[in-house]
């Protein structure tokens, strides 16, 4: 299960990507628009900024904006900002592999071998979809939905 932080982050990024008019948006605006607890969103946006995904400007007229174009931002990058490397087991982490406490031999561990495939599968999906792709797919579903409604009225 992904965390609230990740889900809120994706909502907030979607908001920014869709509203490409203004150059910066207030935390309060985004919180209100997407129904996210303001103080919680604050921390989330800060993380996204530290990851280089968002840019911010302080002071009057300031706010947050995308630092990366929606078509250049893989969803995997956003998810990793909050869920860490997408390792199902510690020994499959991206940096120096951390042996599980209960594991005798990392190299031959069956669980590890299988979970390595899981990790590959997950990252392949998440790194293959950009923020723009996600919004487009959402839009397609919305079209389908309204079309269905047109027919049924």
Partner DNA sequence: TTAAAGTCTATAATTCCTATAGACCAAATG
Partner DNA sequence: CATTTGGTCTATAGGAATTATAGACTTTAA
Residues that bind DNA (CB under 7 A): 3-5, 8, 24-28, 37-40, 42-43, 45-46, 49-50, 56-64
Residues 110-149, mask of contacts with its own copies (x by CB under 8 A):
xx-xxx-xx--xx-xxx--x----xx-xxx-xx--x----
From its own copies, DNA, none, interface partner of 118 (C-beta below 5 to 8 A by class): its own copies
Residue 45 makes CB contacts below 8 A (sequence gap 6+) with 12, 27, 30, 54, 56, 64
d(CA 143, CA 153): 16
Q: Residues 87, 93: contact at Cβ < 8 Å? A: yes
Torsion of the alpha carbons at 17, 63, 55 and 47, rounded to the nearest 10 = -90
**Residue ranges that bind its own copies, judged by CB under 8 A:** 1-2, 4, 7-8, 10-11, 14, 35-36, 75, 87-90, 100, 102, 107-111, 113-115, 117-118, 121-122, 124-126, 129, 134-135, 137-139, 141-142, 145
């Amino acid at each position: 299960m992904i965390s609230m932080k990740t889900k809120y982050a994706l909502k907030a990024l979607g908001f920014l990507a869709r509203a490409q008019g203004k150059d910066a948006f207030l935390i309060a605006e985004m919180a209100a628009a997407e129904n996210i607890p303001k103080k919680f969103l604050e921390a989330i946006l800060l993380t996204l900024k530290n990851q280089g995904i968002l840019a911010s400007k302080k002071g009057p007229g300031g706010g947050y904006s995308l630092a990366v174009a929606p078509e250049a931002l893989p969803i995997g990058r956003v998810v990793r900002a909050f869920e860490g490397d997408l390792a199902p087991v510690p020994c499959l982490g991206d940096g120096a592999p951390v042996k599980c406490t209960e594991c005798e031999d990392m190299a031959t561990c069956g669980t590890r071998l299988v979970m390595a495939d899981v990790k590959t599968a997950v990252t392949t999906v998440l790194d293959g979809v950009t923020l723009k792709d996600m919004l487009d797919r959402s839009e397609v579903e919305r079209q389908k939905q309204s079309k269905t409604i047109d027919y049924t009225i």
